[in-house]
Amino acid sequence: MKDVFSLAGRKALVTGGSRGIGGAIVNPFSDHGAEVAFYHYRDEKNALQRVEKLREAGRAVHAIECDVSDEPKIAEMATWVGKNLGQVDILVNCAGIGGETPFPSITVGDWDRMLGVHLRGTFLVTRQFFEPMVSRSYGRIIAYSSQLAYKGASGLAHCCAAKAGIVGFTRALSYEGASHGVMVNAKAPGPVETDLLMGLSDEWRAMKMAQLPICRFGKCDEIAPTALMLASAAGGFYSGQTLSPNGGDVVL
């Protein structure tokens, strides 16, 4: 069992991998032997720092800017992934945006952008790599939802809708992948100390903190190990599941 979390020889692609939860996933994937590529969006400084640090440690890592909601760009990036990474054994859809807006003030543009990055982005990126995984009879796909998919939250109707859609997408796709060795799962973390959380109002964060039985927000490094488990041999019997490290905010 000592090698159950090994990713040696695996190729992983992480969206939103320059910082936050996505960045926290890139490191343990690399630590456990995977060659990793990640997408970032307008975050070149953090992306370059992460790449340089990992390469200095002798790790194989690649990064490029990509808007996951842009269909032509995603197709272009699939070619880049093929040239730099080769096949994709593990896909983690972690790209996300934030934005606290009372429902009457949510514009169509706000709605489309939120669902575009979270839900459309998950669909577009997954579509590029799902069939090749099926043809090789191996794959691990991990999508990032949120406890908001189950609990909801004031000022985040558009985000909650996107995250709930990811749960449904994960459940449906798992039926098409599992018999071919492609395990599709999701994670629904609670509030975690990221730039997105800090971008919400002080009032919203205080309200959320008061709801948490654990009495604190999570840390990115507390969320990443669940992704490592799902990506490795330890996750081989998980299919269509949404795991929720949320500090007790939602009891599923």
- pTM recorded for the entire structure: 0.95
Per the CB < 8 A criterion, the answer to whether 226 and 187 are in contact is: yes
pLDDT by residue for the chain (252 residues), tens only, comes to 568 999 999 999 999 999 999 999 999 999 999 999 999 999 999 999 999 999 999 999 999 999 999 999 999 999 999 999 999 999 999 999 998 999 999 999 999 999 999 999 999 999 999 999 999 999 999 999 999 999 999 999 999 999 999 999 999 999 999 999 999 999 999 999 988 888 888 998 999 899 899 999 999 999 999 999 999 999 999 999 999 999 999 886
Per the CB < 8 A criterion, the answer to whether 97 and 52 are in contact is: no
CATH no., domain 11-191+223-236: 3.40.50.720
Q: Please identify which residue in the block is written with the tokens 């990115």.
A: 220
Per the CB < 8 A criterion, the answer to whether 62 and 37 are in contact is: yes
